Structure 1
Amino acid sequence: MNTPANVAELSEEECWERLTANSLGRLATAVAGDTDIFPVNYYADGKTLLIRTAPGTKLLELTIHHDVAFEIDGYTDDEAWSVIVKGVAAQLESQTEIDEADRQPLVPWIPTLKYRYVRITPLSISGRHFRRDAEPERY
């Protein structure tokens, strides 16, 4: 049973600290009752998340249904954490926005051309921190 001693809620500031310190997460979309989860690299500026993508399923789903969920996590031998962002995704359209996005430290992890930027504006951010201990006795 989890107790306050081994599970703690992260503050919004602590969630942003983890988001800005990392660059790989999972983006969840749902269209017509079908849910997809995509691994993506991203850039967090402390207010929004920015991803790069190419034309395909991910971009199509983001343009059909803008509500998304985004998750990152991490762990060591002694602790683990998870941050979830629920928000609205929008493809950057103006050249000013695209030029600004080009200046961010966001490059594809694999050698592919990805010229489409999508910004996720959070509606809610939550996180948990877990102390990893041995499983308690069952009986």
Structure 2
Amino acid sequence: MAYVENDAITVLSDEESWELLAQQPIGRLATTIGDDIEMFPVNYVLDGQTVVFRTAQGSKLFELTVNSRVAFEVDSYEDEGGWSIVVHGDAEVLQDVNEIAAVEQLPLRPWVATIKTTYVRIRPHYVSGRRFRFGEEPESWHL
């Protein structure tokens, strides 16, 4: 169940966060190697309460093999407000033939016209979601 942090921000439950994640096709994957942080836009689908995306050989895949800890963010906004969901977890390159066969049945196609034969699953440690109501800055902002 969501609760209000203040008039402008509502903290979402895990269930509400997963429902919103299921509505969007594109998110941002954050990876780290040492002190370097990288962000990659990826199209994705949910498989239960995991995030699945496809990738090709390159820096994104390399970074996941060096450090599997990732953050995955999805958001949406309109004139009146918006929301943001962040999934923190571990990304694993799928190797099991049966698991790959199962995810190949998901409605996941490359976003751009490239060949992406590697499937990655993010297994979350936790999910955090916020809904925002946009408006004027309060007058007592300096206090």
Question: Which TM class, normalised by the smaller chain length?
Answer: over 0.9
Give 1:135 deviation, angstroms: 2.5
Question: Who is 1:40 aligned against?
Answer: 42
Give 1:45 deviation, angstroms: 2.4
Please tell me the residue identity of whatever aligns with 1:70: F
1:76-115 matches, cutoff 5 A: 76-115=78-117
Please tell me the residue identity of whatever aligns with 1:124: Y
Give 1:90 deviation, angstroms: 0.4
TM, length-normalised to structure 1 = 0.94
| Partner Cα distance (1:32, 1:133) in 2 | 39
CA RMSD of the aligned region, Å? 1.5
Give 1:101 deviation, angstroms: 1.1
Which secondary structure state, in structure 1, belongs to the residue aligned with residue 22 of structure 2?
helix
Correspondent of 1:59 among 50, 61, 64:
61
Give 1:50 deviation, angstroms: 0.1
Please tell me the residue identity of whatever aligns with 1:28: A
Question: Who is 1:127 aligned against?
Answer: 129
CA gap of 1:134–1:46, structure 2 versus 1, over 3 A, is: farther
- Aligned residues with identical type, % of pairs: 47
The number of residue pairs the alignment matches comes to: 138
Segments of structure 1 that go 5 or more residues without pairing to the other structure are: none
Segments of structure 2 that go 5 or more residues without pairing to the other structure are: none
